[in-house]
Structure 1
């Protein structure tokens, strides 16, 4: 394999992982909505009845992209059914059973032969379920008066007085129990007397999906709020409970539906057909079980314990320090300080070290956790001293490091981070990402700011609009963007970055662009008033200008392209400088998503006075840098014409930046 081919393969793999991260983020957001009750359980069941054959995660992904989808299949699968996906239709992205992104299309996006399925009466539906029970070696007892001599655990009692719809519901409920590993059926026909909690939710949910497959009435099934059986802590067990139960429901109902389908192929049709889509059996394999996470090593546990004890120590020391007065003076109330668990590192050289030694932590553990330093084999000392301290957390919420801010009149760096450790890698971590989970669940947009106080201020003052996060003193990295994408759909929400309105801000825009341009969603910038930062949102005197800047954003690509034009073309006095500016801008435009290129070509043509066709050619050359020998390139004017144009540039004045108000 050549180096070029290897690079292409790696690029494809990175893009695939990026897409998987985005898709998993969408699914995680949907799980959060189920866990807190915003997505009702019966609404999810309706989605699962349509798309369950693709696995639990995809029952969330498909309606998130196309809420009206009723039957989705691959392009080739539709062709096999005599239907053709219409030209220009946007595919629905799902995750295959092999863990790769895959595209499917809804039946409404296709044309072709009508797909029909028999519409069953309640009696016929009950008969089909009874056949299925017999195929599974169960005996359905509806009071026939016969003596059952088989194994007790294979007898399903259904009260004879029940109508066919309710009897079918009871039977489907019992079959859901029977198909679970180690499952047992309810001992009486009135299962409501013996089936409770998660067991009841699981079996009734399977019954819902199976009855929907048969076209029977499901209105008599009701479900308690998910918080009642899955828990209310969205950060821990409730998410796991939703996923585990949802996965079992999808697997069990898929098995039952597959068996029903197999039995129907050998039985004659008994009812009039209706237009719909039959299950695509080629796609009906059960999703693979998720592997459990590996347990942490003992040394990692020691680091976590030392960091947790350190955090408690810092929090206790905040009250009475200059830190609490400093924070209050900037508008951060004591309630905010408590909510964000801000702490204070005392001024003494070894106050933390002595405290942690008393708790049984070794000096080596403290050094490895980034809490203490040691020079030339001497006595260790505290890393953070006389600083306001902000905790840095991993995705699970555990403290893995700190950011310390010095007082304004002190020496040393304004912000000090925990050094690289086994737990903390500053290029991976964002302050505020874990704390912003509730806002991401409400579809707030990610906002990149400079420091922790900026992030806290935005999250306090504008929680419905933004979920603000701050890198740890580094330029934004691809890993940090990946971390954001776990919690929100970046393709839909995009991202906003807050920039200073000075030359340093323009440099920051270019530096951030190198990473952010890979995001397919809208990437925008909020240009702050010069000398102000987002933390001033909590100031009673200077918050209005910052708030207005955060409400009025502009595409980051506009700022970066304009900066490139200014850097390469200067005042754009001469034809050469205008062409140089257009070529420099074209190199940036070539990196944009295709749907943004035309707009930027027009902007560059207006800014530089270069013909749009020439700008387009520059962009094409930047995308494909090895043109054929006879490829056309714009010609410089003749010397006579050039001398005329040197002092009379024909390009119009640069337009003012057009901002849009974010919603």
Structure 2
């Protein structure tokens, strides 16, 4: 029933697309008419009950319509449309079944509105664009659906843009990817700002034991959709293939950043070394050698010293069972147990 409702809603949005502001808006963002059709873009009318009336006319009851997340109850008990005056993009399962929608406003707030949780759809599991994955394409994790479309469109099959739906990446998202494709490598292509960089660093923990993970380094305040709009598909494709670096590099650099102003002093270099060693100790084995070499070169220590610091940190964590997440830039990150990194559990009384 809920799948059928989403199918009818998708047709409804598509039927109102041509006479809306959506085609011109997406064209201005760099997506031609063919791309818009491929991604089945539509429009939710600026009407409180247009979709609800349409679904009722098709024979769907109010209970099912509300359960679909496409309508909600007001304080007075009236059933009204969840999406109004928005460009609509369907969220699909890997097999192409539509299970939810993302609505993009023209200039209002919030910019993006996702379907609420339903029996079909959970934000922490669903990924926009996952249906475009093939066994031979590399997933590129982006921040938003237009970035995802930009990546897939520009790369013509070698890369597939994937976006979480209004939430941070979760282990369940990774499981969704693994079920949809032969996951050997993933690219993280978040926005080229501080928040995007921090999100990319957090993603390392999710992928480090699953596959190789690289980061696409965008210029400041740019993202895949803006590069497509400003420079075209060829420029975006070149950037996605050439401006990459191991995601572990970003994790290591983030641990050194708080000490940058004191690296001219021995104490500052030692603090940076200890911080980097702790991060390297949590990394996948394939990433360790490169990060030891990078830290040695950047902080002017020999490889043996960096290796020893990393080993000491690993031994300490094994002793107390503490394996914190990689740090965010300029701050600490909660450990899986919820403690802050600085909050070590007591070792117990000394005999």
How does the TM-score come out when normalised to structure 2?
A: 0.84
Pick the aligned partner of 1:479 from 149, 172, 180.
172
- 1:569–1:580 CA contact under 8 A, matched in 2: no
Pick the aligned partner of 1:502 from 188, 193, 205.
193
Pair 1:423-2:96 in alignment: no
Pair 1:606-2:297 in alignment: yes
Q: How far 1:377 sits from its partner (Å)?
A: 4.4
Q: How far 1:380 sits from its partner (Å)?
A: 1.7
- 2:154–2:236 CA contact under 8 A, matched in 1: no
Change (3 A) 1:500 1:597: same
Pick the aligned partner of 2:152 from 451, 459, 472.
459
- 1:497–1:525 CA contact under 8 A, matched in 2: yes
Instruction: Please provide the CA RMSD for this pair.
Output: 2.0
Tell me the secondary structure at the aligned position of residue 146 of structure 2. Answer: helix
Change (3 A) 1:568 1:382: farther
Tell me the secondary structure at the aligned position of residue 388 of structure 1. Answer: strand
Give the alignment of 1:325-336 within 5 angstroms: 325-336=24-35
Q: How far 1:349 sits from its partner (Å)?
A: 1.0
Q: How far 1:516 sits from its partner (Å)?
A: 2.4
For residues 182 and 93 of structure 2, the distance between their equivalents in structure 1, rounded to whole angstroms, comes to 20
Pick the aligned partner of 1:517 from 189, 197, 208.
208
For residues 627 and 368 of structure 1, the distance between their equivalents in structure 2, rounded to whole angstroms, comes to 47
For residues 339 and 422 of structure 1, the distance between their equivalents in structure 2, rounded to whole angstroms, comes to 26
Q: How far 1:511 sits from its partner (Å)?
A: 2.3
Which has the larger displacement, 305-314 or 479-488? 479-488
Give the alignment of 1:422-441 within 5 angstroms: 422-436=119-133, 440-441=134-135
Q: Which residue of 2 aligns with 1:567?
A: 258
Pair 1:339-2:38 in alignment: yes
Change (3 A) 1:569 1:577: farther
For residues 180 and 54 of structure 2, the distance between their equivalents in structure 1, rounded to whole angstroms, comes to 37
For residues 149 and 317 of structure 2, the distance between their equivalents in structure 1, rounded to whole angstroms, comes to 49
Q: How far 1:568 sits from its partner (Å)?
A: 4.5
- 1:529–1:546 CA contact under 8 A, matched in 2: no
- 2:93–2:131 CA contact under 8 A, matched in 1: yes
- 1:528–1:546 CA contact under 8 A, matched in 2: no
Tell me the secondary structure at the aligned position of residue 225 of structure 2. Answer: helix
Q: How far 1:624 sits from its partner (Å)?
A: 2.3
Tell me the secondary structure at the aligned position of residue 291 of structure 2. Answer: helix
For residues 335 and 510 of structure 1, the distance between their equivalents in structure 2, rounded to whole angstroms, comes to 35
For residues 229 and 111 of structure 2, the distance between their equivalents in structure 1, rounded to whole angstroms, comes to 21
Q: How far 1:533 sits from its partner (Å)?
A: 1.9
Q: How far 1:537 sits from its partner (Å)?
A: 5.1
Change (3 A) 1:322 1:598: same
Pair 1:365-2:36 in alignment: no
For residues 318 and 39 of structure 2, the distance between their equivalents in structure 1, rounded to whole angstroms, comes to 56
Change (3 A) 1:596 1:415: same
Give the alignment of 1:125-204 within 5 angstroms: none
- 1:458–1:537 CA contact under 8 A, matched in 2: no
Change (3 A) 1:356 1:506: same
* Deviation digits for residues 80-103 of structure 1 (CA, Å, limit 9, x no counterpart): xxxxxxxxxxxxxxxxxxxxxxxx
* 5+ long unaligned stretches in structure 2: 320-351
Tell me the secondary structure at the aligned position of residue 523 of structure 1. Answer: strand
Give the alignment of 1:571-650 within 5 angstroms: 571-625=262-316
For residues 534 and 305 of structure 1, the distance between their equivalents in structure 2, rounded to whole angstroms, comes to 33
How does the TM-score come out when normalised to structure 1?
A: 0.46
For residues 208 and 304 of structure 2, the distance between their equivalents in structure 1, rounded to whole angstroms, comes to 24
* Deviation digits for residues 285-314 of structure 1 (CA, Å, limit 9, x no counterpart): xxxxxxxxxxxxxxxxx2112111111111
Q: How far 1:469 sits from its partner (Å)?
A: 0.9
Pairs aligned (count): 318
For residues 393 and 481 of structure 1, the distance between their equivalents in structure 2, rounded to whole angstroms, comes to 16
For residues 375 and 402 of structure 1, the distance between their equivalents in structure 2, rounded to whole angstroms, comes to 20
Q: Which residue of 2 aligns with 1:532?
A: 222
For residues 359 and 627 of structure 1, the distance between their equivalents in structure 2, rounded to whole angstroms, comes to 61
* 5+ long unaligned stretches in structure 1: 1-301, 629-663
